[in-house]
Structure 1
Amino acid sequence: MSPPGLARTVTVDGSPVHVLDSGAGPAVLMLHGSGPGTTGAGAWATTAEALGPSWHVVAPDQAGFGGTPVPAGAGRGGLRLWTEQAAGLMDTLGVGSYAVVGHSMGGAVALALAAAHPQRVTRVVAVSTMGAPGAPLSAALDAIWAAPAGQPGARDMLSRLVLDQALVTDAAVEARAAAMRAGAAAYASLFPPPRTRWVEDLTLPARTLAAIRAPVLLVHGADDPVTPLGTAALPLLEHLADVRLHVLGRCGHVPAIEQPHEFRQLLSWFLGAGGGY
């Protein structure tokens, strides 16, 4: 197993994937969301540290984000590419079975991965997830996908992600602005207007959702404007065979940041539970 906190590049199907690889034990694949400047380490390093070294956490930059380019010939990212790349990464790392935690866009990828590989995906935690049939493009998500690189764009985006505006600090804005500038060229190809089509690309058909046999935990903020509870999480309850939903009050789109203690407790409990709820 990899030493704690190792950031490295792994070649998957001939293309580089940048990944944070930490700990040893049961494997957890952690998939970030779609905001500009998002990376696997930026989204999940603190959570991975809190889970401790007894979990083997794999947190990649998905294609078009951070240090992972869109593979040559792929054109742009999308649900199929991100799903295949995630499965290929775990194959390359020699991980036979694993849980998947996905945030927002990453939640849709996690659900698609569970449907495509039912013998390998043991559990799914879909946080503020996309993927529900019929979910519209929210005004907040449209604005986030369109956010320009730089401090004003970073501040506006972060203000939409969290309910508690005290979390939008100057340091957080500068860190995100730097990440946005670094990834601007690759990100530009991912969600050009009109953006409703990219929500549709990340929507899973009812038959795909019904095929998921792994236990699924949905975690959602009651005040999420990006993927609203009523259109993003609640419809999934009708389609998933083994599902439970935990709603966090006074929480926006990023429970891992807004309610970190409760989120990590939920994660540790569900990943360690032998029989689900």
Structure 2
Amino acid sequence: MGSALYYPRVIPDTLAKEFKMTIVDHRGFAKRNLSTPESESTYDLETVLNDFYFFQNQLEIPPCLVLGHSGHGYMALAYAKKYPDLVTKLLLVATGPSHGAPLQERESYFEALASVERKEKHRLLQSKFQTQIQSNPEGLVDFFNLYCVSQDALGFYDLSIDSTTLWEGVKTNKLAFDFLFGKVFVDIKVDDYLSEIKCPITLVLGRYDFQVAPHYTWDPILQRFPGVKKRVMDHCGHLPFYERPEEFLSAIP
């Protein structure tokens, strides 16, 4: 679940050869064809889940493992609750407990764990992003894409990685991300979903992922849900399947 253009670029052959994968754009990445004005209701979570349901039926995909990465993990979680007969296993990758209070912990985590080189690269990327914003007072057309690139020092263990080409041509609808990631996923209560979902659930988190809430912010929640497996991978950040494909493969239930 996510971008059908971005994710194939970060899924290595190691995984592509092992699984038959279907990657579906959600509305935040899809080009709008309607002439009617968009609103927050256009990107309501229930509507997004119904889109995925449509695609799974239209493409005749049988009940299967569903993977959600980052904020898309909440979509996967909600989908498994709403359509339990269509999900056999759930894999949440680089997803924090929410984009609300737990996210505040990442600043102190970054300060404690990040190297001097990582902090300097992050400072330079933030300065570049601010310059891009100031140079386009009418608004950046590719705001979300450029924002993600500005987070490279927070998202990749390997500091030499530049994600610019990974985001080339990716269409994003700003209102969708402002609403889903900035409101819905801020207030989401993962406990309400975990208590209802019966299929096996696995969390795969990067130790050097500074883009979402740190891995340990899940611990108080998982004490109440001991059946949920958590795997923290060293030497990787926000994209474990991209940076550590072999190890990621072994974590797939």
Normalised by the length of structure 1, the TM-score is: 0.65
Between the aligned partners of 2:13 and 2:92, the Cα distance in structure 1 is 19
Distance of aligned partners of 1:96 and 1:155 in 2 relative to their CA distance in 1, 3 Å threshold? closer
- From 57, 62, 66, the equivalent of 2:26 is 62
Distance of aligned partners of 1:57 and 1:175 in 2 relative to their CA distance in 1, 3 Å threshold? closer
Query: If each structure's helix is expressed as a fraction of its own residues, which one has the higher value?
Result: 2
The alpha carbon displacement at 1:125 in A equals 0.7
Matched, 1:166 2:130: no
Between the aligned partners of 1:79 and 1:220, the Cα distance in structure 2 is 24
Aligned pairs, number: 217
- From 85, 98, 113, the equivalent of 2:79 is 113
Distance of aligned partners of 1:69 and 1:217 in 2 relative to their CA distance in 1, 3 Å threshold? farther
Segments of structure 1 that go 5 or more residues without pairing to the other structure are 1-30, 33-38, 271-277
Q: Is the 8 A contact 2:77 2:90 kept in 1?
A: yes
What amino acid maps onto 1:159 in structure 2? A
- Farther-moved stretch of structure 1 (115-124 vs 154-163): 154-163
Distance of aligned partners of 1:61 and 1:249 in 2 relative to their CA distance in 1, 3 Å threshold? same
Matched, 1:40 2:31: no
- From 230, 235, 250, the equivalent of 2:216 is 230
What amino acid maps onto 1:190 in structure 2? A
Where does residue 169 of structure 2 map in the other structure? Answer: 179
Normalised by the length of structure 2, the TM-score is: 0.70
2:91 match: secondary structure = strand
Question: Highest CA radius of gyration, 1 or 2?
Answer: 2
Between the aligned partners of 2:54 and 2:146, the Cα distance in structure 1 is 37
Matched, 1:191 2:170: no
- Farther-moved stretch of structure 1 (130-139 vs 77-86): 130-139
- Farther-moved stretch of structure 1 (150-159 vs 210-219): 150-159
Where does residue 5 of structure 1 map in the other structure? Answer: none
Where does residue 123 of structure 2 map in the other structure? Answer: none
What amino acid maps onto 2:75 in structure 1? V
The alpha carbon displacement at 1:102 in A equals 0.9
1:191 match: secondary structure = helix
Please give the residue correspondences for 1:245-256 in structure 2 after superposition, counting only pairs within 5 Å: 245-256=230-241
Between the aligned partners of 1:78 and 1:162, the Cα distance in structure 2 is 30
Q: Is the 8 A contact 1:132 1:204 kept in 2?
A: yes
Q: Is the 8 A contact 1:107 1:131 kept in 2?
A: no
- Bigger RCO of structures 1 and 2 (CA < 8 A, at least 6 apart): 2
Where does residue 47 of structure 2 map in the other structure? Answer: 81
1:207 match: secondary structure = helix
The alpha carbon displacement at 1:81 in A equals 2.7
Q: Is the 8 A contact 2:67 2:73 kept in 1?
A: yes
Between the aligned partners of 1:121 and 1:179, the Cα distance in structure 2 is 31
Where does residue 67 of structure 2 map in the other structure? Answer: 101
Between the aligned partners of 2:239 and 2:91, the Cα distance in structure 1 is 14
CA RMSD of superposed structures (Å): 3.4
Distance of aligned partners of 1:100 and 1:48 in 2 relative to their CA distance in 1, 3 Å threshold? farther
The alpha carbon displacement at 1:52 in A equals 4.5
What amino acid maps onto 1:89 in structure 2? F
1:164 match: secondary structure = coil
Residues 60-87 of structure 1: per-residue CA shift (max 9 Å, x gap): 111121x454986873424323222112
